[in-house]
Amino acid sequence: MKKIAFLLAAMSLSWAALAQHSNKEVQEDIARHRAMAEAHEAAAKCLESGKKPAQCTKDLQAACKGLALGKYCGMKHVH
């Protein structure tokens, strides 16, 4: 229940933040999200091709340079 409440609060803050941005800023944010999605899709295809995860991560980092925070292009998960 606490997780749901936290998620709803975070979503409310996110929407409030978007409401304060100009249309140009929102469009730039949309473009960044699409570019990150394309980089993650390429990383998935890289792994599917049998390449080593280290190489796919390196490619992902290069594709996401300047797009997202952290070395995982704004996404980190457990292995």
The domain tally of the chain equals 1
Residue 17 forms part of a structural domain: yes
Residue 18 forms part of a structural domain: yes
Residue 48 forms part of a structural domain: yes
Q: What is the 3-state secondary structure (H, E, C) of the chain?
A: CHHHHHHHHHHHHHHHHHHCCCHHHHHHHHHHHHHHHHHHHHHHHHHHCCCCHHHHHHHHHHHHCCCCCCCCCCCCCCC
Residue 3 pLDDT: 64
Residue 78 has pLDDT above 80, yes or no: no
Apex 59 CA angle, 53 and 62, nearest 5: 140
Q: State pTM to two decimals.
A: 0.65
Residue 11 forms part of a structural domain: yes
pLDDT in tens, 26-72: 999 899 999 999 999 999 999 999 999 999 999 999 998 888 888 78
